[in-house]
Amino acid sequence: MNDTPPNSFRNMPDDRGHFGEFGGRYVAETLMPLILDLEKQYRAAQADPAFEEEFNDLLQNYVGRPSPLYYAESLTEEVRKDAPEGKGAQIWFKRDELNHTGAHKINNCVGQILLAMRMGKTRIIAETGAGQHGVATATVCARFGLPCTIFMGATDVARQKPNLFRMKLLGAEVVPVTSGAATLKDAMNEALRDWVANVHDTFYIIGTAAGPHPYPELVRDFQSVIGKEARAQMLDRTGRLPDMLVAAIGGGSNAIGLFHPFLDDPDVKMLGIEAAGHGLDKEHAASLAGGGPGILHGNKTYLLQDEDGQITEAHSISAGLDYPGIGPEHSWLKESGRVDYDSATDTEALDAFQLLCRTEGIIPALEPSHAIAAVVREAVKMDRDQIILANLCGRGDKDIFTVAEALGTEI
Amino acid sequence: MTDRLSSSFPADRAALVTFVTAGDPTPADTGAILDALVEGGADIIELGMPFTDPMADGPSIQEADIRSLAAGTTTANIFNMAREFRQRHPDTPLVLMGYANPMTIRGSEWFANACVDAGVDAVICVDIPVEEDESLGDALRAKDVAVIRLATPTTDAERLPQILSNASGFLYYVSVAGITGQQQAAQASIEEAVARLKAGTDLPVAVGFGVRTPEQAADIARVADGVVVGSAIVEIVGEYGKDAAPHVRDYVKSLSDAIRVARHG
């Protein structure tokens, strides 16, 4: 990122891993030497054309990139039915749900396992919420022959059975975590405990753009392939940039991957969508809307917490968004005003999920269903010649049982 | 304040440093348990601030944190416990140990002032390494509250001087790369590490993680300036709950007795 001008939104973090007041390296001393070594090795990999070449080759031939940029004409028409005269923007999707393993998570896992092998690590650990990151990690571990252990909250194990079975088929050991609410936050605690006890041989593939520096930066860089492709594809197809980008946010890796390459395009608005769960006045997972700055899992960022700094439980129908924090770069982008953040409830996401199924023949994951809910909300307010582009970051096969239960249907 | 801490490392034997989680099983029980630690012969008290997400702790302290928070323990309760302890035990150093978020949520200066007001001598923050020291350390040092640093088996010679910069009170050697309350390090590796650390600092070096029996405590007491015992005490509180104080006292006395004769044996 050193080629960007000093007033760019793209030259964060600083050399200590800070995004303004956010980010940093808040880890136990045992992990510090390893984190510093990871940063050194990442800088070396960035400067090595062979690393980029191998990364790009795997993305193209193993993951199936570039993912298509798709004009959702039918959804656009549906939205225009309820729009005022002349309103109803064109809705486009970046189809990262078509990636191998069914979500954007694989982009990051390919990058991190190449780093792990560069560092001579022989064992991989990861946390997972919805199971998408766990599946993607198990996938690259199978591909490169490294043993892997996935920590998954026991609550998520119960609601994401298809992904649990996938991980096992791929040869991963899945450890159900029963502490706390037994969801993503607790899985991350347990992964950190494993890591601190196995620092010498183990690489921790963090699934979102959070954690101690350099994770937020390197996850963002690996996921930025989404935005780089989308930007080039949009220019190629329409000769212009989109007017607005929309992406769902749990930790925020798909959103930062889409947003980052556009941050210095001043006419492109950006909207990150947090999970409002049962509503922002009830249980939710919207740390920007309902939380405040604090320190957890290696970084300073917005967190759901009480006045004593105890972390409060998040809730979302989407296991992938069920996390009480957010990547530190999003906290900084919010405070800088460059990106707007809003939220969608469980119910709104369920409605959007069904709408996309019916209008486009695409079954989205519950995570991007939150973004789709916001797209519908925003598109009706925008002019017909404007373009709104959302990241369809995962497919919904894994969620059909959750959705069936929410709709009161038996499968 | 740091005088109370430095004078608590006797010249002729190792100091016994004991840890309990504040508010476990309830805030009302902690006073008696702290008294039991002192009666049993503890030289320095570490009072753990419970946290919802204790990433560096094993199951024993995780469960203690859950019990304490479930009983409604607040930061205000913890400082009250410290203040009352200071009134009862004017000479025993008290160290607050915990995680960054509860310590910094109201700002580092608020926390430093609260420490001074309650008579807390030092602070150990598990997840603020020297790289992020300004988040808390500056405010504490400005109020003469010691910032105790951790060194671990992964801390190499190049890094050690950084850790020692602005360190005060004592140096806490975490003898195992891992979480609290699990296995103990081999005696030979502890001896080697303590020698290495003492070559780099005049601060007393206390060794902890995985220390359970009087024999283990005595072994460490022969080579280090202090022995830290935590999870084993927390487990006694977990087992006996409200009636834990006499059991804690007896256990701590067994450690203290072993440490007192260690260098004569």
**What's the CATH code of the domain at B69?**
3.20.20.70
**How many inter-chain contacts (A to B, CB under 8 Å) are there?**
116
In terms of CA atoms, which chain A residue is nearest residue B102? A309
> How many Å from the N-terminal Cα to the C-terminal Cα in chain A?
49
Contact A28 B54 (CB under 8 A): no
DSSP character for A305?
A: B
Structure tokens at B20: 């309990």
- Sequence-distant (6+) residues with CB within 8 A of A162 are A131, A397, A398, A401
User: How far A133 CA sits from the closest chain B CA (Å)?
Assistant: 21
Contact B179 A197 (CB under 8 A): yes
Our count of domains for chain B comes to 1
Is B55 touching A (CB cutoff 8 A)?
yes
Interface predicted TM-score (ipTM) of this complex, two decimals: 0.96
Spell out which chain A residues touch chain B, with contact meaning CB-CB distance below 8 angstroms. 16, 24-34, 179-180, 185-186, 189, 192-193, 196-197, 199-200, 294-298, 300, 303, 305, 307-311
User: How far A43 CA sits from the closest chain B CA (Å)?
Assistant: 19
From residue A331, give the alpha-carbon distance in Å to each of A56, A66, A282, A336, A340. 29, 29, 22, 9, 11
Instruction: Return the ∠ at Cα A209 (arms to A203 and A212), rounded to 5°.
Output: 60
Q: Among partner residues A34, A185, A307, which is closest to B154 by beta-carbon distance?
A: A34
Model pTM?
Answer: 0.96
Of B24, B29, B43, B46, the catalytic one is: B46
H/E segment holding residue B51: none
What's the pLDDT at B2?
55
Helix (H, G, I), strand (E, B) or coil at A364: strand
User: How far B67 CA sits from the closest chain A CA (Å)?
Assistant: 12
**Chain B CB contacts of A294 below 8 Å:** 101, 104-105
* pLDDT tens column, B33-80: 999 999 999 999 999 999 999 999 999 999 999 999 999 999 999 999
Is B70 touching A (CB cutoff 8 A)?
no
Q: Spell out the long-range contacts of A77-80 with Cβ–Cβ below 8 A and sequence spacing 24 or more.
A: A78/A355, A78/A359, A79/A376, A79/A379, A79/A380, A80/A384
In terms of CA atoms, which chain A residue is nearest residue B183? A197
Q: What is the average pLDDT value for chain B, to the nearest integer?
A: 95
Amino acid at A335: E
Contact A309 B179 (CB under 8 A): no
- State in words which class domain A27-61+105-219 has: alpha beta
- Sequence-distant (6+) residues with CB within 8 A of B71 are B23, B24, B25, B26, B27
Closest C-alpha among A173, A190, A210 to residue A328: A210
Contact A32 B159 (CB under 8 A): yes
Contact B103 A309 (CB under 8 A): yes
In terms of CA atoms, which chain A residue is nearest residue B174? A30
In chain B, what is the greatest distance between 2 CA atoms, to the nearest angstrom? Answer: 49
What's the pLDDT at A2?
47
Is B137 touching A (CB cutoff 8 A)?
no
Instruction: Note down the domain range covering B181.
Output: 2-262
B57 is catalytic: yes
| Residues B195, B200, B203, B208, CA torsion sign | negative
Structure tokens at A127: 């946390």
Structure tokens at A79: 């939205």
pLDDT, average across residues B100-115:
98
Q: Where are the beta strands (DSSP E) in chain B?
A: 15-21, 44-48, 94-98, 122-125, 146-147, 149-151, 171-174, 205-208, 226-229
From residue A119, give the alpha-carbon distance in Å to each of A37, A41, B137, B141. 9, 7, 33, 38
Contact B151 A308 (CB under 8 A): no
CB B158: neighbour CB atoms within 10 A? 8
Q: Where are the domains of chain A?
A: 27-61+105-219, 65-102+224-406
From residue B241, give the alpha-carbon distance in Å to each of A219, A249, B232. 45, 42, 14
Is B58 touching A (CB cutoff 8 A)?
yes
Task: Give the CA dihedral B159, B164, B169, B173, nearest 10 degrees.
Answer: 20
Cα B29 from Cα B21, distance rounded (Å) = 11
User: How far B75 CA sits from the closest chain A CA (Å)?
Assistant: 6
The residue behind tokens 């690489």 is A203
Residue B201 CB burial class (10 angstroms; 0-12, 13-18, ≥19): middle
Contact A197 B159 (CB under 8 A): no
DSSP character for A60?
A: I
Mean pLDDT by 10-residue block, N- to C-terminus, for chain A (411 residues)? Answer: 69 96 96 95 98 98 98 98 97 98 97 97 94 95 98 89 93 93 90 94 96 98 98 98 97 97 98 97 96 98 98 91 94 97 98 98 97 98 98 94 92 82
Q: Among partner residues B105, B149, B177, which is closest to A196 by beta-carbon distance?
A: B177
**Chain B CB contacts of A29 below 8 Å:** 129, 149-152, 154-155, 163, 174
**Chain A CB contacts of B154 below 8 Å:** 29-34, 199
The CATH code of domain A65-102+224-406 reads 3.40.50.1100
CB A86: neighbour CB atoms within 10 A? 9
A18: left (phi over 0), alpha (psi -120 to 50) or beta: beta
In terms of CA atoms, which chain A residue is nearest residue B73? A308
Of B24, B29, B43, B57, the catalytic one is: B57
Whether the CB-CB separation of B192 and B136 falls below 8 Å is answered with: no
From residue A303, give the alpha-carbon distance in Å to each of A31, A178, A206, A290, B13. 22, 21, 18, 8, 45
**Chain A CB contacts of B177 below 8 Å:** 30, 196-197, 199-200
Closest C-alpha among B95, B51, B93, B58 to residue B74: B51
Contact B55 A189 (CB under 8 A): yes
Closest C-alpha among B122, B149, B129, B142 to residue B47: B122
Contact A308 B52 (CB under 8 A): no
Cα A125 from Cα A172, distance rounded (Å) = 10
Contact A26 B153 (CB under 8 A): no
**Chain A CB contacts of B62 below 8 Å:** 179
User: Which of B21, B51, B105 to mutate: most A Cβ within 10 Å?
Assistant: B105
A363-400 burial: b if 16+ Cβ within 10 Å, else e: bbbbbbbbbbbbbbbbbbebeeebbbbbbbbbbbebbe
Helix (H, G, I), strand (E, B) or coil at A378: helix
